[in-house]
Structure 1
Amino acid sequence: MEELLSRPISADSSWRRERILHVPLCQEDCEQWWEDCRDAVTCKENWHKGWNWATGRNRCPWGSLCRPFSEVFPRPKDLCEKIWSHSYRYTTARRGSGRCIQMWFDPAQGNPNVAVAKYYSWKKRSSPAGLEDVAPESDHAVCALPWSVLVLLPLALVLLPEAARGCGSHGWGSL
């Protein structure tokens, strides 16, 4: 059982061997992220790859134009699902539902993402088919993540150096 919880998702990609995929974000958090960043500018829709690293730092690809987030990502769903190669999935699940990751919370009141990670871990273990037969709109893609990754994910995003500048009070970066 421990092995099941600690096994990351394998990704079929030449630029990343393992990563998070389709983590369900709470509706309010996705919409707040989009609202905070709507007037910031970016030159890319997918921030995971395709940067110009000629200077040793990630820069926009040659010839790309910077545009407001609201043009690159017309809806909150577009931002949340596309900016990190579908690492996240927009949901209509609400904060406190236990079915979506909250990006912002008061640690003094506990981490609500612990319950979410445990829910998906339990769901994965209790499904005989490994949730492969569940409809695409369901929560199955996140289930292979170790609960510790889901719990620490919001903290990791806040602490990323490049993400610490711009985009309102929540610290989302812009390029």
Structure 2
Amino acid sequence: MAWRLTPLLLLLLAWTASMCSARNRVDLLNVCMDAKHHKTKPGPEDKLHDQCIPWRKNACCSHNTSQELHKDPSLLYNFNLDHCGKIEPACQRHFIQDNCLYECSPNLGPWIQEVNQSWRKERFLDVPLCKEDCQQWWEDCRTSYTCKSNWHKGWDWSSGSNKCPAGATCRTFETYFPTPAALCEGIWSRSYKLSNYNRGSGRCIQMWFDPAQGNPNEEVARFYALAMSAGAMPHGIGLLLLSLVPMLHLWLLS
């Protein structure tokens, strides 16, 4: 009879896992962060501007926000990319795309964390950025100039816009970020994590994608939401199964 018990327990485990994880998966999918310029819920935005267009079918940003993201400095945060002189246009495009992903994407739920900051209550952390996106970002920015390796904090805001702090020296990006991982993982305090997966794998978030082909990040979010929900369940499910084993055993022997 033991051989009959194992399949039954596996079936029960799968059913219980699906029931317990349903709410967690829903909470992690198709959501907007609680932050300064984000919408409360994602929805269509037909007039998103330029590099934010890929999210127009379902976005957490408004048309006005998408327009401001393409200005330097933007009125959204008064952040100046050209704090060490004009950065290369190709480099600037990556930062615009990074901002579009941050403000517009509804597919970052699995990596959203609570924070206690004046301008937001949530952020994303360790988003697995596709290898090519990170490498190209670094390649296109390596010869531009900056004065810091972490852009989240430490600036001089006395003028109302970010300036290099006292004692900081303007050097090439490659000096402050010697590798693609150093750039993608360090510049925004671990918002991103360099993934070993490639674009189209369904296992990493793409900063760049063709909206005509659909949003590949939806599949990625579903994968990680399910994995995270499953990872949080074994202890509770195990207790439930242990409590049912004697009853199942008696039933199989009857």
Task: Say whether the fold is shared (TM-score over 0.5).
Answer: yes
Choose 22-31 or 120-129, whichever is displaced more: 120-129
C-alpha deviation, 1:126, in angstroms: 2.0
Corresponding residue for residue 20 of structure 1 = 124
Corresponding residue for residue 126 of structure 1 = 230
One-letter amino acid of the structure 2 residue matched with residue 45 of structure 1:
S
Q: Percent identity?
A: 56
C-alpha deviation, 1:61, in angstroms: 1.0
C-alpha deviation, 1:92, in angstroms: 1.2
Can you give the 5+ residue segments of structure 1 that lack an aligned partner in the other structure? 131-175
2:211 to 80, 103, 107: 107
One-letter amino acid of the structure 1 residue matched with residue 192 of structure 2:
Y
C-alpha deviation, 1:127, in angstroms: 2.1
Question: RMSD of aligned C-alpha atoms?
Answer: 2.2
C-alpha deviation, 1:128, in angstroms: 3.4
Corresponding residue for residue 30 of structure 1 = 134
1:97 to 189, 198, 201: 201
Corresponding residue for residue 168 of structure 1 = none
Residue 68 in 1 paired to residue 172 in 2? yes
Secondary structure at the residue paired with 1:52? coil
Residue 83 in 1 paired to residue 187 in 2? yes
What is the distance in 2 between the residues matched to 1:119 and 1:14?
A: 32
The structure with the greater share of residues assigned to helix is 2
Q: Which has the higher contact order (CA 8 A, sep 6+)?
A: 1
**Alignment: residue pair count:** 130
What is the distance in 1 between the residues matched to 2:189 and 2:133?
A: 18
Within 5 Å, give how 1:43-62 maps onto structure 2. 43-62=147-166
Deviating 4+ runs (over 3 angstroms): 2-8, 11-17
